[in-house]
């Protein structure tokens, strides 16, 4: 027997599940609050060009997102960013290129010159101790900061990993669990004997040397393609539909109760969300100083850097060639803030000037958008897809949703009642 699955939330997690179930012939219905699907994978129009409002790339680890993109017929549109290094704007106001062999600032080769250039010779010498320590050292560390400190010393955490993790994840390295920051890292330290060798092995495993990739035209093409494929396979996707209450056996949408097999693909509506605030300001500027990409693909900013409130800057037209092609003669940059700046465009233009050491000549367009990140659910009590269960980032969300789809399909092939039949009640 096949019966309808009710999916609350039409972000990438919900859409991956909906598409997979629909392709397997299961009736599926998705309820999405917004007037478009995609959630945090969304377009934003700046200077007439559709850029990404939030997620702009995916981690290539495991190949799970690339495989999905290929299934959706967009394999030829997968693009890799410019290999130019990102930079670090330090607390003394100076900027240095980040070591080229690292992951999240952890050097794959602590003896490399570019490591000593960032953290100093003394700290770099300490980092090399990692190669001599027993592999077990740091295995009991709960956080990335603790692991790196145990193996490579405080200099690597303070000078590299801390600012990089803050720029990428908006969190302190001492608050980020090892496995969510770099899945498999701990096991690789044991297997390869040192943290540096573990990092080097992870980098070698990344396809074509790039740890991230994007989609020409923007990551926001992904949810659209997912939704179109799911609908073509028979799924019903309803936008502008607010789910007010969810239990394992039903949900309430616009005051109407639907009973059935519910999968939550959104944060728990019954739980107060104290998620972090993150504002992205995208500017399209006329700034000849940017023509030679003086800070590579972007800059991560040390927390106490003077005169800057941004935590990171991405030079979009230097990072992605499709954006440079779409904005000839101009530059697009994106600044990230862990707050809602009062006058976002002015603040971003000022920060851009400080980070480049040169003023911006003219701002053609500026768009700010503030996101609130959901927190992880510890005890969901029902099937859940999306980042609250699978972890942050598209690689985690897609891989997890594909796994949940397999589990549900296996269960429905062995049980006549699962997924359960949907029934709408007034
Ligand atoms: C600024 C920013 C930058 C990011 N950059 C990257 C990146 O470069 N690479 C990367 O891999 N990841 C990135 N991420 C993270 C990534 O985008 C997310 O982990 C992923 O998109 C989460 O997908 P999801 O389906 O779990 O959640 P969401 O995308 O949040 O989807 C949940 C959906 O549920 C809907 N919803 C919520 N409440 C209700 C309700 N009551 N009724 C009905 N529907 C509801 C929402 O409208 C939303 O569409 C970024 C995130 C942000 C915010």
- Partners of 256 in beta bridges: 253
Omega before 212 within 30 of 0, i.e. cis: no
Domain count, the chain: 3
Dig out the tokens for 273 from the structure: 């969300």
Q: Specify if 54 maps to a domain.
A: no
pLDDT of residue 295: 92
Asked if residue 158 and residue 32 are part of one domain, the reply reads no
| Structure confidence by residue, pLDDT tens digits, 307-362 | 999 999 999 999 999 999 999 999 999 999 989 998 999 999 999 999 987 777 78
Q: Are strands 312-315 and 236-239 parallel, antiparallel or unpaired?
A: unpaired
Asked if residue 238 and residue 302 are part of one domain, the reply reads no
Ligand 1 pocket, Cβ-based, cut-off 6 angstroms: 8-14, 31-34, 39-41, 54-59, 242-243, 265-266, 269, 278, 280, 371, 373, 386-387, 392-394, 397
Contact 59, 393 (CB under 8 A): yes
Asked if residue 228 and residue 104 are part of one domain, the reply reads no
Asked if residue 192 and residue 129 are part of one domain, the reply reads yes
Which residue, by CA, sits nearest to atom 6 of ligand 1?
A: 55
Q: Report the Cα 126 to chain-centroid distance in Å.
A: 31
Q: Which residue stretches of the chain have pLDDT < 70? A: 1-2, 206-209, 273-274, 378-380, 414-426
Q: Specify if 61 maps to a domain.
A: no
Q: How far is the CA of 200 from the centre of ligand 1 (A)?
A: 31
> Measuring CA to CA, how many Å separate 35 from each of 90, 125, 235, 241?
41, 55, 17, 8
268 Cβ partners below 8 Å, 6+ apart?
A: 246, 377, 380, 388
| Structure confidence by residue, pLDDT tens digits, 42-91 | 999 999 999 999 999 998 888 999 999 999 999 999 999 998 888 999 88
Q: Specify if 52 maps to a domain.
A: no
pLDDT of residue 61: 80
- Which domain does 229 fall in, by range? 5-42+218-270+376-425
Rounded CA-CA distance 201/327 in Å is 37
Provide the CATH number for the domain around residue 197.
1.10.3110.10
Asked if residue 414 and residue 365 are part of one domain, the reply reads no
pLDDT of residue 417: 52
Nearest alpha-carbon partner for 248 in 407, 414, 80, 384: 384
Ligand 1 pocket mutation pick from 8, 29, 38, 39 by most atoms within 8 angstroms of CB: 39
Torsion angle (degrees, nearest 10) of CA 220, 27, 269, 275: -30
pLDDT of residue 163: 85
Asked if residue 342 and residue 294 are part of one domain, the reply reads yes
Which residue, by CA, sits nearest to atom 38 of ligand 1?
A: 266
Ligand 1 pocket mutation pick from 6, 11, 263, 395 by most atoms within 8 angstroms of CB: 11
**Which atom, in ligand 1's list, is nearest to the CA of 243?**
42
Provide the CATH number for the domain around residue 384.
3.50.50.60
Asked if residue 200 and residue 106 are part of one domain, the reply reads yes
Asked if residue 118 and residue 159 are part of one domain, the reply reads yes
Q: How far is the CA of 11 from the centre of ligand 1 (A)?
A: 6
pLDDT of residue 1: 35
Which residue, by CA, sits nearest to atom 24 of ligand 1?
A: 386
pLDDT of residue 169: 78
Asked if residue 146 and residue 134 are part of one domain, the reply reads yes
Full DSSP string of 115-170: HHHHH-HHHHHHHHGGGTS-TTTTTT--BHHHHHHHHH-HHHIIIIIHHHHHHHHS
């Amino acid at each position: 027997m096949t019966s309808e699955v009710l999916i609350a939330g039409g972000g990438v997690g919900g859409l991956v599940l909906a598409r997979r179930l629909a392709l397997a012939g299961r009736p599926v219905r998705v309820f999405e609050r917004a007037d478009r699907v995609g959630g945090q994978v969304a377009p934003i129009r700046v200077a007439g060009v559709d850029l990404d409002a939030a997620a702009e790339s995916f981690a290539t680890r495991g190949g799970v997102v690339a495989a999905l993109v290929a299934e959706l017929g967009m394999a030829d549109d997968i693009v890799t960013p410019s290999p130019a290094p990102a930079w670090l704007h330090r607390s003394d106001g100076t900027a240095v290129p980040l070591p080229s062999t690292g992951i999240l600032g952890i050097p794959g080769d602590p003896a490399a010159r570019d490591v000593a250039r960032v953290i100093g010779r003394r700290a770099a010498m300490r980092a090399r101790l990692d190669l001599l320590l027993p592999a077990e050292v740091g295995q009991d560390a709960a956080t990335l900061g603790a692991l790196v400190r145990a193996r490579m010393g405080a200099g690597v955490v303070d000078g590299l990993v801390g600012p990089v993790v803050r720029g990428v994840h908006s969190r302190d390295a001492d608050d980020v669990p090892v496995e969510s920051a770099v899945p498999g890292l701990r096991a690789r330290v044991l297997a390869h004997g040192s943290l540096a060798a573990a990092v080097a092995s992870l980098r070698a495993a990344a396809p074509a040397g790039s740890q991230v990739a994007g989609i020409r035209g923007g990551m926001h093409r992904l949810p659209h393609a997912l939704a179109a494929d799911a609908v073509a396979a028979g799924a019903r996707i309803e936008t502008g539909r607010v789910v007010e209450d969810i239990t394992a056996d039903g949900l309430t949408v616009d005051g109407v109760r639907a009973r059935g097999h519910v999968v939550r693909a959104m944060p728990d509506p019954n739980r107060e969300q104290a998620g972090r605030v993150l504002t992205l300001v995208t500017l399209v500027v006329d700034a000849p100083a940017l023509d030679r990409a003086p800070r590579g693909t972007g800059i991560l900013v040390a927390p106490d850097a003077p005169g800057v409130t941004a935590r990171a800057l991405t030079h979009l037209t230097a990072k992605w060639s499709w954006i440079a092609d779409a904005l000839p003669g101009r530059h697009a940059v994106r600044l990230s803030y862990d707050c809602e700046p009062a006058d976002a465009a002015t603040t971003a233009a000022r920060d851009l000037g400080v980070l480049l050491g040169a003023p911006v000549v003219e701002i053609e367009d500026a768009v700010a958008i503030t996101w609130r990140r959901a927190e992880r659910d510890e005890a969901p009590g029902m099937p859940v897809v999306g980042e609250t269960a699978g972890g942050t980032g598209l690689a985690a969300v897609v891989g997890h949703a594909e796994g949940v789809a397999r589990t549900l399909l296996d269960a429905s092939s062995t049980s006549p009642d699962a997924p359960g039949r949907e029934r709408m009640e007034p």
